[in-house]
Chains A and B, each alone.
Chain A
């Protein structure tokens, strides 16, 4: 008779040694023994009371029917556990040795488990029993399997798992005894969403072979089993995993488990990557107590960053304290190349790289801490190279030529990622670039700029949840001591410092250069430029200052780069020229042959608008106390504020006014107010102008001066100029008189000099002429009797008629012809005399002193004052 002590299940407090499986099997075996004994009396008795008894034991409905019972064997055709038959066992055959009261073997034809997979693996009303079983199993796991385990064979296993998004069916078989456990299981998710096949061979003998097995898995996007692999389900694609697993001999006592696996992705699309991934990753991993080593990691993936991007990587990684605070360390070397890589999908602005390639070798250090989340740094183990054949950015500047950048290892990590518990990810890339030279083609013009930089720094920070107003993505670029050349224009920039940044579609640029040379014929200047670009809308602030000349030109404005339209406010700080000091040709060498001995101040300010190449402006050019030789004409104290309505080719508004204290064109014109307009950069229309000469009034006919034509003829009409002042101006020492002359003075202006072909002036009325013999040229004074008589006649000559003919040659020689008729009271008692006097030779250079009491006209003085407040 079997000992009839209380069934172990009813002794809640009793804790049997020998592990949970042993207790389960033991309970099951005892249950059948009890039933077998009962059967000895009545098979139907057992069938009627058995189930109820068992239900009490399990705490959940049990239904079974015994079909055969004898001393050696019991056969239960079908055993249902759980209200909704969560677990059904078909064809259960128990073989036991009645004498040793030992259960030798349990053979089950088929086990069917129907469970629900939700937040937990639930078998309906069997859960409490299962939980209790697991709890007790958990605590005894250390001691391994019970030595005297009966042999259990599950010929076939059927699983029916219902999950919120589909059902999973599974099949398999297992044999279990105190020698070994061999089991194989394959799971099939509904709609063919996933398959998992696993085979496990586990020896229970101390000297048995270490457990080993294989795991093959195929998950499609629709599967619910992604959490098993620790990944979020992709939008599409298939992930296949193939792993060989084996454990060390002493795997139960801190030995390791090794797994060689290969994961293959096909058309694997996840939101973060613009293109689906295909390819495989393989590695040999080893799990020890609390560390995981991933050796010989190798991956070859196509797609991801772009459809035609390919990444190949190898490396070795080490994870420590896996269960508590995983720490990562390792080395990874990676090569990537592609055909066309648009960066916009990666959130880095509208930039596309052609044939990009990257090669780098990094040391990884990662750490996760309970409080602060995870942190990963990548440091370059050796210089990395990034090369591309071309970079184009939406219509703006591009790198048209093949470029290779070398990123240098530095103490600051290349990549630093920090992810806190809330998932807030901040990633920073810091890439110090070695000596680089780039060819840049700014979008707005086809000229190419060649930029050579000894060293530069590129940093990129991306914040997944930027603070209010802060930028999500920020790219910064800095360099110093760079050189740049604009070959097509012959412009060179030295000592360049650049700081450019891009954040959320807005670009800012600041550039300074110590020496900009080749700006047309201008002297070298120091340049400072600041610009803000958003799309093609640019705001800029430029400043050019002479390196050793006092130029200070500021340009501030806005432009639509796409349509090359915009407005600039120009401010040229006042420039003071001085004879012996700064001269115009110091600033603009070609002026050397046009402007000599210049003094006075110029300045300019005002808006310039550009639309394509069409320029319009409202520029004010101030000219103050300006004197010197302009071409052949000697000017004294010129003042004007000229309104320029197009800077190039130069054009002024009509009716501009310039006041000239004195202009020497062979004859001294003074107190002039010219009205003019410049057009097409080469035509100056001078309106009729009024000025004074030798005390009389001069009217100059309107004239068009064409800067290319070799000569210009001016026609002066002179009225009532003073005889006395004229002779003074002509510098004929000793000759003076009273009376006025009028007439015409034609002037020929040559670039190389001035000629007065034949001026003729007549006396308006009778007057007086005196020639002080003492001041006559020496030769004249001693020229004998007749000359003495002539001089006597001229000492106080009252003329009725006076005609003066004047001609001045380009050489400066002046021929003066004077025909006067009248008489000298003290010469032959005033007998009528006709006098023809010709004077030849170089007359005194027109005297340079100004017009006494000259006042700059109010209108122009006011304009000058409010030009530079």
Chain B
């Protein structure tokens, strides 16, 4: 995960952008299964 932060000039309000990405380990675990499910049943997917 790679959070990025940008800071701007003081006369205007300080603008803080924070981007939080929550770990997706579940998604990776399942992607492989979905992948070969679709490949192995061309007529069904």
Contacts and interface: CB of A to CB of B under 8 A. Distances in A.
Question: Do A and B make up one complex?
Answer: yes
Interface of A: 776-777, 779-780, 783-784, 786-787, 789-790, 793-794, 811, 813, 821, 828, 831-843
Contacts of A832: 13-14
Contact of B15 (A779, A834, A839): A834
A841 B5 CA distance: 19
Given A833-B16, A841-B23, 17 more contacts: A777-B22, A780-B20, A786-B6, A787-B3, A787-B18, A789-B16, A793-B14, A832-B13, A833-B15, A834-B15, A837-B19, A839-B20, A840-B19, A841-B22, A841-B24, A842-B22, A842-B24
B22 A840 contact: yes
Nearest to B21: A840
Nearest to A792: B16
Contacts of B23: 777, 779, 841
A831 B17 CA distance: 16
Which 9 pairs across A and B sit closest by C-beta, in order of nearness?
A841-B22, A786-B5, A832-B13, A779-B1, A783-B3, A834-B15, A836-B17, A839-B20, A833-B14
B22 A839 contact: yes
A799 to B, nearest CB: 12
B16 A793 contact: yes
B3 A779 contact: yes
Interface in B1-37: 1, 3, 5-7, 10, 13-24, 26-27
Contacts of B3: 779-780, 783-784, 787
Given A779-B3, A828-B14, A832-B14, A842 B20 contact: no
A862 B27 CA distance: 47
Nearest to B13: A832
A277 B28 CA distance: 96
A787 B5 contact: yes
A519 B5 CA distance: 66
Contacts of B17: 836-838
Given A831-B13, A832-B13, A790 B18 contact: yes
Given A786-B5, A790-B5, A838 B10 contact: no
A526 to B, nearest CB: 40
A777 B20 contact: yes
Contacts of A835: 15-16, 18
B21 A831 contact: no
A145 B22 CA distance: 140
B37 to A, nearest CB: 15
B11 to A, nearest CB: 10
Interface of B: 1, 3, 5-7, 10, 13-24, 26-27
21 contacts: A776-B20, A777-B1, A777-B20, A777-B22, A777-B23, A779-B1, A779-B21, A780-B3, A790-B18, A793-B14, A811-B27, A821-B13, A832-B13, A834-B13, A834-B16, A836-B17, A837-B18, A837-B20, A839-B20, A839-B22, A843-B22
Contacts of B16: 789-790, 793, 833-836
A502 B44 CA distance: 60
Nearest to B3: A783
A213 B14 CA distance: 148
A836 B20 contact: no
Nearest to A836: B17
A203 B40 CA distance: 117
Contacts of B15: 833-836
Given A839-B20, A840-B21, A841-B21, A831 B26 contact: no
B13 A838 contact: no
A786 B7 contact: yes
A714 B32 CA distance: 34
Contacts of B19: 837-838, 840
A811 B27 CA distance: 9
Contact of B10 (A779, A794, A831, A839): A831
Contacts of A811: 27
A831 B20 contact: no
A840 to B, nearest CB: 5
A474 B6 CA distance: 101
A833 B26 CA distance: 35
A412 B24 CA distance: 84
Contact of B14 (A834, A837, A842): A834
Nearest to A791: B18
Contacts of A793: 14, 16
Given A787-B3, A789-B7, A831 B14 contact: yes
